[in-house]
Amino acid sequence: MTLRPQRLWLVRLKNGLQTLLIMAGLALVLSVPGYLLAGATGVILSLFAVAVAAHLSSWVPARLILANAGAGLLRRHQAPELYRVLDILYQRAGLEIAPQLYYSPSRDLNAFAVGDRRDGGIAITDGLLRTLDLRQLAAVLAHEVNHLQQGDTRVMSMAAAMTRLTFWLATAVQIALLLMLPLIITGGGELPWLLLLLVALSPTVSTLLQLALSRNREYTADLEAIAITGDPHGLASALEVLERHNGSWLMTLFGRQAPAWINWLRTHPPTHKRIRRLLDVGELPRHTGTRPFIRLSDVDHPVINERPGPESGRYWIRRRR
């Protein structure tokens, strides 16, 4: 399975522009309460605070976050097939750090990446290992590898910092307006309805933009994953399995089909749209006998020789090896 270069480039450009626009929107929404509190100085201080928070978060070791999540380090001798796949994925993604895979005993079907191309790790749950075959797991791991390659954890941390600061500043503006209320009642001024509306809506708008950014990064990770593996159908089939297991709660709440507005509250795009985009980008090779990007073993599921327990609280101070 190969990718049409022009189509790949256009989708990359579109996703990149969407990311820039969403981040600009988050900064603009943040500047509203900052400006109302302290004018231009408030805007500058707000953006500076976000930059400092993002920089400090980059110093938090990824292994500390994964250890606190209850995940244990899965070593090479415990999952040789998965590490063989990860070695190829890291090499194709241009990551120079050694792969580190973490195991979570959760029955949920989930995998997530923490960190970036300098310091990162990937966690995978026991439920996912028992449900997906090796081809599907390779596609999911490629998706998470791209999150490390693009530093999506850091990007989302910055977006989350903007949203939290927007909420705090909006609260401060509302408190200031309440303190001015006696003066307004006695005729010393008018109630600024437009100001109240802007302040009340700013946290909600910021949250929706943050969710939109998350969905954008998921689309991008899907695209780059199949660029690494050359296997859109592997990732598409994995997404179908995940939707059957993880999407059932929406059906329980809303019946056979969830309402359209629920998509605005998703951190991940609707599965059918992700699958359609994957299959639209890929095309079959024009000649037979093409060697696959990643040669998988004949087994359906990877063999896990030993499942590790959670790491101790002092694991984060250890040197990577």
Confidence of residue 210 (pLDDT cuts 50, 70, 90): very high
Report percent pLDDT > 70 for the chain: 77
> Do 272 and 242 touch, CB atoms closer than 8 A?
no
Contacts with 195 (C-beta within 8 Å, 6 or more apart), sequence order: 36, 173, 177
Which residue among the candidates 81, 96, 144, 224 is catalytic per the annotation?
A: 144
pTM: 0.80
- What residues are paired with 3 via a beta bridge? 282
96-134: pLDDT as tens digits: 888 999 998 888 899 999 888 888 899 999 999 989 988
- Give the confidence band of 244 by pLDDT, cuts at 50, 70, 90: confident
Average pLDDT, the chain: 79
Cα–Cα dist 293/276, whole Å: 22
Do the beta carbons of residue 215 and residue 266 sit within 8 Å?
yes
- pLDDT-based confidence at residue 21 (cuts at 50, 70, 90): very high
Burial (CB count <10 Å: 0-12, 13-18, 19+), residue 319: exposed
Per-residue confidence (pLDDT) for residue 197, from 0 to 100: 83
Structure tokens at 83: 């590490």
Q: How confident is the model at residue 294 (pLDDT cuts 50, 70, 90)?
A: low
Could you give the CA distance from residue 50 to residue 62 in angstroms, rounded to a whole number?
A: 20
Percent of the chain at pLDDT above 90? 22
What gap in Å lies between CA 277 and CA 300, rounded to an integer? 26
pLDDT computed for residue 254 by the predictor: 45
Please give the Cα distance from 229 to 271 (Å, whole number): 20
Structural domain boundaries in the chain: 2-310
Report the pLDDT averaged over residues 21-38.
90
Could you give the C-alpha distances from 90 to 23, 71, 133, 215, 234, in angstroms and in order? 28, 21, 20, 23, 18
Which pLDDT value is given to residue 71?
A: 79
The reported pLDDT for the residue numbered 290 is 40
Q: What confidence score (pLDDT) does residue 296 get?
A: 59
Q: Report which of residues 146 and 12 the model is more confident about.
A: 146
Q: What is the pLDDT of residue 146?
A: 93
Query: pLDDT tens digit string along 56-85?
Result: 776 777 777 777 777 788 888 888 889 999
270-288 per-position pLDDT tens digit: 888 888 888 877 543 433 3
Is 144 part of the annotated catalytic residue set? Answer: yes
